[in-house]
Amino acid sequence: MNDAVHVVGALGISLAIQAVFFTFAASLRTDKVTDLSYGLTFVVLALLFLIRNDPRDPAQAAMAAMVVLWGVRLAAYLVYRIARIGRDTRFDGIREDFLKFARFWFFQGVAVWVIMLPVTAWFANPGGWRWTMAAAAAVWAAGWTIETVADIQKFRHKMRPGTGRGWTDTGLWRYSRHPNYFGELLCWWGIFAYAAPAFTGWAWLTVAGPLALTFLLLRVTGIPPLERRAEAKWGGDPAYRRYVGTTPRLVPWPFR
């Protein structure tokens, strides 16, 4: 019962944070705080879980640190990006419609909660340190590094004056069309692997977290809309066609 209360409470906190930011965003019809609230919700939940348990425990501190570092980096990058570009075109036609905008914020809160399920369940009954945790943390670190480098490379490319082509095909983007999403998936599958040895019974259902993220990135809100927009912009360019034809969609592969 306590575990169920813990999980439901996490959903309530996630939705409450979205409600606060939504009130501000809807009143000003702005999308500049959307990504801030997304990353911040992960950070708040992880810190609350850690404080509720034992901040001095190395295994718990490491789990919280992985989520906090991921959330802070993502929020900082996306806030900086929206400040530079001024507007998020994803919300054109949505930010002006109260109900559509509210629906987006609601589902963002649910998405954070689902992705965080392995962390939430693990903190409900945290296990002690195991050697497998070091391997899982290494997977997370690799993913965090890949995602960070890929985001920096793409942003610099887009901001560079006189860039001849709009798509990014240098650095990590030479080996994958979406290396940032590959890094993000490594992060959250690494977090699940970190928590999994302590799971029993219903806790194994929290694999829905990384599975949902994988589905969203590969089939819904991640890669598909980006590829559709890229196809509309550069689909007729032979150089872009070569890039798509010779570069893996997700997993970086240098031997093309």
Query: Domain spans of the chain?
Result: 1-128, 130-256
Contacts of 218 by beta carbon, 8 Å cutoff, 6+ apart: 181, 250
Q: To which residue do tokens 């592969």 refer?
A: 253
| Per-residue pLDDT at 55 exceeds 60 | yes
Tell me what pLDDT residue 1 has.
Answer: 46
C-alpha distances in angstroms, 180 versus 155, 185, 190? 12, 9, 15
Q: Which residues contact 66 (CB under 8 A, 6 or more apart)?
A: 137, 140, 144, 187, 190, 191, 194
Q: How confident is the model at residue 93 (pLDDT cuts 50, 70, 90)?
A: low
What pLDDT was estimated at residue 90?
67
Mean pLDDT, range 13-32, rounded to an integer: 90
Single-letter code of the amino acid located at 157:
H
pLDDT at 244 > cutoff 90: yes
Q: Are 207 and 118 in contact (CB under 8 A)?
A: yes
| Residue 225 identity (one-letter amino acid) | P
Residue 105's pLDDT band (cuts 50, 70, 90)? very high
pTM higher than 0.85 for the full model?
yes
Q: What is the mean pLDDT of the chain?
A: 91
**Cα dist from 172 to 64, 76, 195, whole Å:** 28, 21, 29
CA 7 to CA 13: how far, in whole Å? 10
Q: Which of 3-12, 62-71, 161-170, 210-219 shows the lowest mean pLDDT across its residues?
A: 161-170
Radius of gyration of the chain (CA): 19
What is the model's pLDDT at position 98? 84
Task: Give the Å distances, CA to CA, from 11 to 16, 56, 109, 195.
Answer: 8, 26, 8, 19
pLDDT at 163 over 60: no
Q: Which pLDDT score, from 0 to 100, does residue 91 have?
A: 66
pLDDT at 84: 78
pLDDT for 162 beyond 70: no
Asked whether residue 121 carries a pLDDT value surpassing 90, the answer given is: yes
Reading the block at residue 156, the tokens are 């610099």
